[in-house]
Amino acid sequence: MSDSWATFGSDLHLDLDGTGVRVAVERALRDAVRTGRLLPGTRLPSSRSLARDLGVARNTVADAYGLLVAEGWLTARQGSGTRVADRPAPGISAVPTPAAAATRAFAYDLRPGTPDLSTFPRAAWISAAKRALTAAPNDAFGYGDPRGRIELRRALAEYLARARGVRATPERIMICSGYVQGLALLTTVLRDSGALAVEALGLDVHRDVVAAHGMRTVPLAVDAQGACTGELAGLGAGAVLLTPAHQFPTGVPLHPERRAAAVAWARQTGGVIIEDDYDGEFRYDRQQVGALQDLDPDHVVYTGTASKSLAPALRLAWLVLPPALIKPVAAAKALADMHTKTLDQLTLAELIRSGAYDRHVRRSRARYRSRRDRLVAALAERAPRVRVTGIAAGLHALLALPPGAGTEQAVIDRAARRGLALAGLDRYRYAGTAPPSLIVGYGTPPDHAFAGALDALCAVL
């Protein structure tokens, strides 16, 4: 029978067997190092501290340390204490995570999906965080409303109304830990309503999230006018996921008649439209396309995120819900994670309230428009047979490959050999056909790498 002591103060747990005390301490330490539980460089408690926690004599621990130092398991240096020696740990095998296994180092990255992360407004965020933390009421540090902090919901209601034409009140807004969670919550609530229609060209991860939460998907065709919403009636769907302001990945806005058709379908069938407004703030050549939600707030769930305007690492997104979905989605959120991180919510609320968020968006819009113009000009000069579309808004462009350029994968492989990461349209294809194309995320590289990325792209094409 073994006795266990959890040494919380020293963060060291040892199992001592029934042999002599000194031998038991030696064996427990040796086994912890041999199996890799104690990693090389780990600092051990002092002999006095460990002896007190284990309830043994100090000399017993000191003698055990001394023996293991002599055997090479531990090291002891003046001023550095006793540490685990730097040696192989055969009991531990390195298992790469799926993300790590798929990672490759590229000199340049033009894949879509992220903004220029180097432009995150660090100083403004820190300043807003300090002000928010100072002003936060005590209850902000406890468990809160699963819908999110009222400060952020109020700030978003005002901002979305003026910037995106969304009809919102704080009561209708739900703060989520990223867009993916928001989609998962909606899927959980809507999965008994029938299938979810998704655009035949769109993010594969969204389809995976929906399937993982028990809802079947059906493809909705996409053409030069966006999703073919007139076909919804024949799909047997209870809900549809659309990117109406800037279809991903084609970059076209949903035609007004198709917007009206989607709303008419929802009203006639009681269906729900999920509007993914992932980069609606970045429109360059004309006035922004307003939110579809404004046409019928009782049938459209508006979804937005800080991932493109600020950074994906914040994991902040929001849903503007029809009244009938507020309670069930809030209940699903409470079961998922109680509520999204409060301090980040308060900071974003302060960033919006102070005007710093608007200033950052305007600066970003000017920067990305300049990059888009440089991309179009470079291709016109150096790869004139490549047709560029979907450039009125957003952070990516669609490049149709000319005849003779090879398959999408062949072009992607050529680019990889030049240290350039690219993505093809085929990755995002759920159904149907489309010409071989590249999706170039011109928002991704930092400023210092953008010229080199353009040069590499033109050389490949």
3-class secondary structure per residue, 376-400: HHHHHHHCCCCEEECCCECCCEEEE
Q: Does domain 121-358 have CATH number 3.30.450.40?
A: no
According to the per-residue pLDDT averaged within each range, which of 93-102, 369-378, 429-438 is highest?
A: 369-378
Size of the chain in residues: 461
pTM score of the predicted model: 0.85
Tell which residue, 287, 289, 291, 261, has the closest CA to residue 274: 291
What DSSP string runs through 15-62?
A: EE-SS-HHHHHHHHHHHHHHTTSS-TTPBPPPHHHHHHHHTS-HHHHH
Q: Are 193 and 301 in contact (CB under 8 A)?
A: no
Alpha-carbon distance 44 to 76, whole Å? Answer: 10
User: What is the predicted pLDDT for the residue at 21?
Assistant: 81
Q: Which CATH architecture has domain 3-84?
A: Orthogonal Bundle (1.10)
User: What is the predicted pLDDT for the residue at 354?
Assistant: 97
Has residue 27 got a pLDDT over 60? yes
- pLDDT mean across residues, the chain: 91
**b (16+ CB within 10 A) / e for 73-93:** bbbeeeeeebbbeeeeeeeee
User: What is the predicted pLDDT for the residue at 101?
Assistant: 43
Q: Which two tokens stand for residue 17?
A: 């067997």
User: What is the predicted pLDDT for the residue at 100?
Assistant: 46
Q: What confidence category does residue 18 fall into, taking pLDDT thresholds of 50, 70 and 90?
A: low
Q: What confidence category does residue 1 fall into, taking pLDDT thresholds of 50, 70 and 90?
A: very low
105-142, pLDDT tens digit by residue?
899 999 999 999 999 999 999 999 999 999 999 999 99
Residue 235 DSSP class:
T
Q: Among 332-341, 400-409, 418-427, which stretch is predicted with the lowest mean pLDDT?
A: 400-409
**Which H or E element spans position 175?**
strand 173-176
User: What is the predicted pLDDT for the residue at 3?
Assistant: 41
Give the domain ranges of the chain: 3-84, 108-117+359-460, 121-358
CATH of 108-117+359-460, one of 3.90.1150.10, 3.50.50.60, 3.40.50.1390, 3.40.50.970: 3.90.1150.10
Give residue for tokens 């979305």.
Answer: 160
285-300, pLDDT tens digit by residue?
877 789 999 999 999 9
158-196, pLDDT tens digit by residue?
999 999 999 999 999 999 999 999 999 999 999 999 999
Alpha-carbon distance 273 to 292, whole Å? Answer: 9
Q: Are 334 and 327 in contact (CB under 8 A)?
A: no
302-333, pLDDT tens digit by residue?
999 999 999 999 999 999 999 999 999 999 99
User: What is the predicted pLDDT for the residue at 93?
Assistant: 55
Phi, psi of 323 (to 5 degrees): -55, -35
Has residue 95 got a pLDDT over 70? no
Alpha-carbon distance 250 to 224, whole Å? Answer: 8
Rounded mean pLDDT, 270-284 = 95
User: What is the predicted pLDDT for the residue at 19?
Assistant: 66
User: What is the predicted pLDDT for the residue at 286?
Assistant: 75
Has residue 275 got a pLDDT over 80? yes
Has residue 5 got a pLDDT over 50? no
SS (H, E, C) 117-149: HHHCCHHHHHHHHHHHHHHCCHHHHCCCCCCCC
382-399, pLDDT tens digit by residue?
999 999 999 999 999 999
Tell which residue, 223, 220, 224, 213, has the closest CA to residue 180: 213
- Residue 148 burial class via C-beta count within 10 angstroms: exposed 0-12, middle 13-18, buried 19 and up: buried
